[in-house]
Amino acid sequence: MCGIAGAWSNHNALDERDFAIALKLLEHRGPDEQQFLSTSNINIGTQRLKIIGLDHGSQPKHNNKGQYLVFNGAIYNYPEIGKSINFQSNSDTDILFELVTKRGFENSISLLNGMFSIAYYDEHLDTFLLARDRMGQKPLYYYHNQNTFLFASEIKSLKKLMQLKNIPIQLNKNAIFHYLCYSNIPEPETIYENIYALPPASILKFNKGNLNIESFWKHNYRKNESISFQDAKELIKVQIEDAVKIRLRADVKKGLFLSGGWDSSVIAMEAAKFDNQLATYTVKYPFQTDQNESEIAKTTAKEFGLNHEIISIDKTPIALLNSAIKTFDQPMADSSALPNLAIAEIASKKVKVMLNGDGGDELFGGYRRYFTAKNIKVLSALKYFSFLGSSNNRKSKFGFLNRINRITQSKFPEKYLLYTTDMFRDIDKDQILNNAKTFQSAEQLLRPFLDDKLSELDQLMHLDRNFNLLSGILVKMDRASMAYSVEARSPFLDYRLFEIMNALSESYKIKGFSRKHLLKSIYKDQLPKEVTKSKKISFEAPLEEWIKNDFNEIIQDLIYDPNAKIYQFINYNEISELFRGNKYQDRNTYYILYSLLILELWLIENQ
């Protein structure tokens, strides 16, 4: 695991001392060593966190043919790749470089099973090639013009490289509206103009001012109806076991973030087969809340003979909030980022690798909205019961009816935001934004991912994987863990699992009122009843509690102030109506307030 950065110029390379400063901004991602190389017109380097091949694997890799490589992440199938090219090493970095130099960069990437962002430079061709893993677990950002190409694992380092090149950095105001709709900034755009995220499963080629991006893998939802339910269970069980096994390949102590839910409990069970020294960690809040799952997790760990530690959050929510603002380069309104930071900080004192259950909902169909999508035709009949009453309040007993009605009467892309965030949408743009006509639509971002051939459920899951998962969950987990030099590994994000699940009948995911039907059928008799019988609890901070108490004063001081920085872009009078309860009561007002608070704190920190 590392932080990587690089620069190309058609004139001179950056001064090495300056480049080292930009690279050092990634030190939290790789505190063990800093290494970089320079030629007449490029700089390339890493901040390394030693996980595999502790005495080897230093970067950048290079040879006398003018080939250079840096990478961030982990190649889980490196032993198998090594055998296929007759090359022995206990370092995934060494094997990756050997593979690329033998097979070529573009022919090599599709062979990798892992999470990665890779940069390769061929001096003779004067060409940079960048690649990112299939799900987008590891970040990679870039900037380019005719004379310059810059990249880095995090925006803070890329901004420094731009400053060293005297390139102006401007706020992307369109991203602000998109953030207010999605609760994050959907990739590939960022909060800054002309800084982009490399899309997942993509290879970028930059040669003398010309840039091209191509995909090397895509989700395929074509169904294979010949796979029986029993065969599917066996296929998935074997693949989950292997996905966990290869993610335990590391030369350092490993842990597992264990909640009380199905996903991390399945990972715990499978991991215990290969490593009974695995440490498990669960968060506990200092007051009673629906989010406390510590006792269930403790039972699960005991069941499988794993060590367990309950992490009590002793930092105040305000302290965690300030930590989140400094950690994330962009506004991120996912409140679960706060406990993730707390877990990573404590776990970092004991382990360097943490497994988790991320991706389970997107893979197996765990969200409530998937039940709605699967049964959308049946649920559409609820509109005939609207005579029973109506309400604009999402928490009223009729709020659900109204929401279902809005979903059934709308189409993608608007429908996606109705299914998911419960925040703002394009229909609110003219009211909530100053100079609204100068802002781009938020829903237009979804159009490239729409496919009329997909069912309602597949379309929703596809959008989730390219928006909520990519720009929300994966960003949150990567930044929170790497802030404390911990490598987060997610077995359910193994692309082989997605290839199988995409081909299966929808009834294997959602059956009746049962979500994650296939996963639960496999493991229902193997997990503690405390897990299998408990109500699903999403891993979120107790946001309503915090808004009413811990964050109340700071919201009053900042967001209620008409001179707040957010009102450069947002209509204060419209937000005042939300404060008074006169508008937007059909939305999640706690999410909206939190997103406004995060944006204001981010602007204070960065403007």
Can you say which residues are annotated as belonging to the binding site? 92, 283
Q: Which residue has the tokens 């029993």?
A: 230
Active-site residue, selected from the candidate residues 1, 2, 201, 423: 2
Give the residue among 116, 27, 195, 31 at the shortest CA–CA distance from 493: 116
Are the beta carbons of 134 and 114 closer than 8 angstroms?
no
> 3-class SS at 517?
helix
Buried b (16+ CB within 10 A) or exposed e, 401-435: bbbbbebbeeebbbbbbbbbbbbbbbebbeebbee
Residue 127 has a CB neighbour count (10 Å cut-off) of 16
> 3-class SS at 113?
coil
Strand partners, 114: 75
Q: Please enumerate, by residue number, every residue annotated as part of a binding site for L-glutamine.
A: 92
Contacts of 65 (CB under 8 A, 6+ apart): 101, 124
| Residue 97 burial class via C-beta count within 10 angstroms: exposed 0-12, middle 13-18, buried 19 and up | buried
Joined tokens for residue 176: 């602000």
Contacts by 464-470, CB closer than 8 A, 24 or more apart? 464/362, 464/367, 464/420, 465/135, 465/219, 465/362, 467/182, 467/186, 467/416, 467/420, 468/182, 468/362, 468/420, 469/135, 469/359, 469/362, 470/135, 470/136, 470/186, 470/187, 470/200
Are the beta carbons of 420 and 588 closer than 8 angstroms?
no
Give the residue among 16, 45, 210 at the shortest CA–CA distance from 121: 45
Q: Which residue has the tokens 């290869």?
A: 246
CA 577 from centre of chain: 33
Helix 16-24 / helix 155-164 crossing angle, nearest 10 deg: 160
Pairing of strands 127-132, 114-122: antiparallel
Joined tokens for residue 589: 């007002």
Contacts of 287 (CB under 8 A, 6+ apart): 542, 545
Q: Please enumerate, by residue number, every residue annotated as part of a binding site for ATP.
A: 283
**Which ranges constitute the DSSP H helices of 358-426?**
360-364, 368-374, 376-379, 399-408, 414-419
Using CA atoms, how far apart are residues 369 and 460, in angstroms rounded to an integer?
A: 9
Query: Does the CA dihedral 447-457-390-423 come out positive or negative?
Result: negative
Residue 469 φ then ψ, to 5°: -70, -55
Are the beta carbons of 489 and 355 closer than 8 angstroms?
yes
Our answer to whether residue 181 is catalytic in this structure is no
How many alpha carbons lie under 13 Å from residue 243 in its C-beta half-sphere?
27
Give the residue among 446, 482, 255, 270 at the shortest CA–CA distance from 353: 255
Strand partners, 132: 117, 202
Order of strands, edge to edge, in the sheet holding 254-257?
307-312, 279-284, 254-257, 353-355, 487-489
Catalytic residues: 2
